[in-house]
Homo-oligomer: A and B are copies of this chain.
Amino acid sequence: MKTLNVELGERSYPILIGVGLMQDVELLKEHIPGQQILIVCNETIAPLHAQPLLDALSDRRVELLNLPDGEKFKNLETLNLIFTKLLELGFDRSCTLVALGGGVVGDVCGYAAASYQRGVNFVQVPTTLLAQVDSSVGGKTGINHQMGKNMIGAFYQPQSVLVDIATLGTLPDRELRAGIGEVIKYGFGLDLDFLEWLEQNMQALLDRDHQALTYAVEQSCAIKARVVAADERESGQRALLNLGHTYGHAIETHTGYSSWLHGEAVGAGMVMAADLAMAEGMIDKATADRCRNMVERCGLPTAPPKDMDSERFLALMARDKKTLQNNLRLVLMTGPGKSVCTSKFSHKNLTQLIDNY
A35 at the B interface (CB under 8 A): yes
CB contacts (< 8 Å) of A154 on chain B: these are 114-115, 118-119, 154
CB contacts (< 8 Å) of A90 on chain B: these are 318-319, 326
A48 at the B interface (CB under 8 A): no
A87 at the B interface (CB under 8 A): yes
CB contacts (< 8 Å) of A73 on chain B: these are none
Interface 1/0s, chain A 305-327, versus B by CB < 8 A? 00000000000001101011110
Q: Report the interface size for chain A: residues with CB under 8 A from the other chain.
A: 36
Would you give the shortest CB distance from A236 to chain B, in whole angstroms? 13
Q: Is the CB of A321 within 8 A of B92?
A: yes
A94 at the B interface (CB under 8 A): yes
Q: Say yes or no: A151-B119 contact (C-beta < 8 A), given A92-B321, A94-B324, A324-B94.
A: no
Chain A interface mostly: mixed
CB contacts (< 8 Å) of A152 on chain B: these are 83, 115-116
A147 at the B interface (CB under 8 A): yes
Complex: A139 Cα to B145 Cα, angstroms = 25
Q: Say yes or no: A117-B151 contact (C-beta < 8 A), given A92-B323, A93-B324, A318-B90.
A: yes
Q: How many copies make up the complex? A: 2
CB contacts (< 8 Å) of A321 on chain B: these are 92-93, 117-118
A336 at the B interface (CB under 8 A): no
When C-beta atoms are compared, the residue in chain B nearest to A80 turns out to be B76
A142 at the B interface (CB under 8 A): yes
Would you give the shortest CB distance from A106 to chain B, in whole angstroms? 15
**Given A87-B148, A93-B321, 18 new contacts (CB under 8 A):** A76-B76, A80-B145, A83-B145, A84-B147, A87-B147, A87-B151, A88-B147, A90-B319, A90-B326, A92-B326, A93-B324, A115-B115, A116-B151, A117-B321, A118-B142, A118-B321, A119-B233, A154-B154
| A-B pairs with beta carbons under 8 Å apart, 17 shown | A76-B76, A80-B145, A83-B151, A84-B145, A87-B148, A88-B147, A90-B319, A92-B325, A94-B324, A115-B115, A116-B151, A118-B140, A118-B154, A118-B233, A118-B321, A119-B155, A154-B154
